[in-house]
Amino acid sequence: QVQLVQSGGGLMQAGDSLRLSCVAIGPTFSDYAMGWFRQATGKEREFVAAISREIGDTLYTDSVNGRFTISRDNAKNTVDLQMNSLKSEDTAVYYCAATRGYSNLRSRFGYEFWGRGTQVTVSS
């Protein structure tokens, strides 16, 4: 079992950049595909980005493609989400997630382990 500890987040202005980080504590980090999800108030948790285990193939939701970058460092057990050109619609609680499975990485149901979430608020 892996524990995910998130850092980053805060109150930003539109156009700002912000980096979220997630450290995995537990078994071999490279066994896990990693994802970032977000949940705005009153909405369901939605997929943001994912990265595969070793090769580092990445996936993004259309609304963040070209602005956000997911990356991982298997030596440091970390996965980061670099968010550029932030918009007010990016306001949400952001969650780091991990899976040992091979399900659809765009679905929240494909992840077994979750961080506690960190608030990102973007004012326009």
Q: Is 110 exposed, middle or buried (0-12, 13-18, 19+ CB in 10 A)?
A: middle
CA dist 95 and 46 (Å) reads: 10
74-91 confidence digits (pLDDT tens): 999 999 999 999 999 999
What is the structure's pLDDT at 11? 97
pLDDT-derived band at 103, boundaries 50, 70, 90 = confident
Bridge partners of 11?
Answer: 121
Model confidence over 14-71: pLDDT tens digits? 999 999 999 999 879 999 999 999 999 999 999 999 999 977 799 999 999 999 999 9
Assigned token pair, 81: 């989400």
Cα(103)–Cα(93) distance, integer angstroms: 23
- Structural tokens at position 59: 């996936």
Angle at the Cα of 30 from the Cα atoms of 24 and 34, rounded to 5 degrees? 60
**Cβ atoms 103, 110 nearer than 8 A:** yes
Q: Is 114 left (phi over 0), alpha (psi -120 to 50) or beta?
A: beta
pLDDT tier for residue 13 given thresholds of 50, 70 and 90: very high
Q: What is the pLDDT of residue 117?
A: 98
